Amino acid sequence: MQYALELVGTYFFAISGALAIQNKDQDLFGVGFMGFITAIGGGSLRDILIGAYPLVWIENVNFLYAIFAGLITTFLFFSHMAKLRKTLFLFDTLGIAFFTILGVEKCLNLGFRPEVAAIMGMFSAVMGGVIRDTLTNEIPILFRKEVYASACLAGAVVYLTLDYFGLDRDTNLLGSIALIIIIRLVAVKFKLNLPILK
Amino acid sequence: MQYALELVGTYFFAISGALAIQNKDQDLFGVGFMGFITAIGGGSLRDILIGAYPLVWIENVNFLYAIFAGLITTFLFFSHMAKLRKTLFLFDTLGIAFFTILGVEKCLNLGFRPEVAAIMGMFSAVMGGVIRDTLTNEIPILFRKEVYASACLAGAVVYLTLDYFGLDRDTNLLGSIALIIIIRLVAVKFKLNLPILK
Amino acid sequence: MQYALELVGTYFFAISGALAIQNKDQDLFGVGFMGFITAIGGGSLRDILIGAYPLVWIENVNFLYAIFAGLITTFLFFSHMAKLRKTLFLFDTLGIAFFTILGVEKCLNLGFRPEVAAIMGMFSAVMGGVIRDTLTNEIPILFRKEVYASACLAGAVVYLTLDYFGLDRDTNLLGSIALIIIIRLVAVKFKLNLPILK
């Protein structure tokens, strides 16, 4: 079940990664490359930092096929997808929420400290997009979007806190994912931002 | 023989990496640093992703000396080299073709799946340049040049396919390298591009 | 003693990293994220390249707390700190000098060749800032500042040379750190630059 969700999440991550650069006159290969980097970047960076080899998509090529499927979907329905921005926004929000908490759990299971797990959860979710934006010379999403990475970090901290107090895993997982989604939706809806330093 | 070729390839990679930023008012150190990053970047990223430690140039410092030699050559003949663009283009094309297939072979020898080997072969060849371009705030070569990384990927896939069908290694190696070179030369000569998504 | 210095160095690295992006309309989270990346980036890249797991800040979360302390200091005194540029420049210079030589020593202790240790020492000190600048779409510090990374490399080479000739560790450590600081201060004071290639 969780494995199926991870594959589906990877599929959507590849799509939203590829679509994020649509205004750039990229050829097919460039768009595909960027979808690929977005989908694998965050999890790969997390696993390299914590030394968790082999990387998930290198051990299990089904993740590569999920990405290919996402890229082919993008190529086929490219012109239609521009109209689906709201749907894609939802999928992206679901994706970062889900991958944050999975990243946190992976680190806890490997015996890392909760402080490390919180950072790695956030990295899993957002660093793929950060790498993509850096490669295409954009200001990373992290600095543009209202409460994006910080929603992930907040969800991770809440998960870890409730886990510490013994909440059962499934309730905690769903609750924390829901929290990230709600923070993100509320922030976008009401254009909330964190304070700017002056 | 192959080892000698790798050293020579590294030498030329450092030169083409350093020359790629010549219009930027970089000081000597900056140019050298970028030549270094270009030469080690792709292979290092590949080895970090697949967890193949120690990295090639860290275990065998002769690669570092090949890079130093390339950088000194660049410093001494900098003003002349601008006129040698066609020669350097050829060396760069030879280099990416050669390093792609070597990267593929390394992954196969370590027991990785062909899908992974194809991606890692391409990464070996092009990611050094991508990292250099990102650090110097350029749109990476990958997105500017006609059929650059995609030629490497095509060559890698052909190598893996023929290897699967039992073609002997030397023929396959030379044939796949030649294929990458031909695709690249034809694409540049006739200004071929992959389709742009609209 | 050295451990205390490392924590203090990390604290100041986080501050100078966070302040480096103050003209960018970043929100609180973005500034903190960048301070974090600056503080951990160089050492993490070094340890990933040489395969020295677990990474320092992942094994010992006190480094994370030193970074948090630095970020909170930045948030609280942000408007005052802009006036402290000279003090911060001194701390940054102390920091890169110190972390260069510590990085060199770590590599030597792990049995790596001096050529590798020199490069890794420099990477430890400067790559955090390079990653930060790349993520925020700046031309990396490496290419803007007078004799920055090259001072670190020079100090590393001197340390390794004197170590080879048997100078005792403490004298060598202090002397090489002082050398980096002096090179940097002299270069800034007299606006010295390395030659630009033409």
Query: B196 lies in a domain?
Result: no
Local confidence pLDDT in tens for the 198 residues of chain C? 789 989 999 999 999 888 877 556 678 888 899 999 999 999 999 999 999 999 999 999 999 999 999 999 999 988 888 778 788 888 889 999 999 999 999 999 999 999 999 999 999 999 999 998 888 877 776 676 668 899 999 999 999 999 999 999 999 999 999 999 999 999 988 888 887 776
A62 in reach of chain B (CB within 8 A) = no
Query: C11 lies in a domain?
Result: yes
Query: A194 lies in a domain?
Result: no
Taking an 8 Å cut-off on Cβ atoms, the answer to whether A61 and B197 are in contact is: no
Closest-CA distance, B196 to chain A, in angstroms, reads: 4
Cα dist. C105→C129, C170, C171 in Å? Answer: 21, 12, 14
Q: Which residues of A72-97 are buried (b: 16+ CB within 10 A; e: fewer)?
A: ebbeeebeebeeeeeebeebbbbbbb
Q: How many domains does chain A have?
A: 1
User: In sequence order, what are the residues at sequence separation of 6 or more whose Cβ sits closer than 8 angstroms to the Cβ of residue C119?
Assistant: B64, C153
- Residue A54: strand, helix, or coil: coil
Domain that holds residue B43: 2-189
A61 interaction partners in chain B (CB closer than 8 Å): 113, 115-116
pLDDT interval class at B96 (50, 70, 90): very high
**Contact criterion met (CB below 8 Å) for B152 and A33:** no
Query: C156 lies in a domain?
Result: yes
Query: A116 lies in a domain?
Result: yes
Contacting partners of chain A (3+ CB pairs under 8 A): B, C
Query: A123 lies in a domain?
Result: yes
- C-alpha closest to that of B56 among B119, B93, B13: B13
Query: A72 lies in a domain?
Result: yes
Q: What is the pLDDT of residues B18-72, one digit of tens each?
A: 887 755 667 888 889 999 999 999 999 999 999 999 999 999 999 999 999 999 9
Rg (CA), chain C: 16
Q: What is the pLDDT of residues A143-152, one digit of tens each?
A: 766 688 999 9
Query: B195 lies in a domain?
Result: no
User: In sequence order, what are the residues at sequence separation of 6 or more whose Cβ sits closer than 8 angstroms to the Cβ of residue A116?
Assistant: A50, A107, C58, C61, C64
Q: Mean pLDDT in chain A?
A: 90
Q: Give the integer Cα–Cα distance in Å for B95 and B90.
A: 8
A30 in reach of chain B (CB within 8 A) = yes
Q: Give the H/E segment covering residue B128.
A: helix B114-135
pLDDT interval class at A22 (50, 70, 90): low
Q: Give the integer Cα–Cα distance in Å for A164 and A178.
A: 19
B73 in reach of chain C (CB within 8 A) = no
AA identity, residue B36 = F
Taking an 8 Å cut-off on Cβ atoms, the answer to whether C58 and A48 are in contact is: no
C127 in reach of chain B (CB within 8 A) = no
**Contact criterion met (CB below 8 Å) for C46 and C124:** yes
For residue C95, what are its two tokens? 């920091």
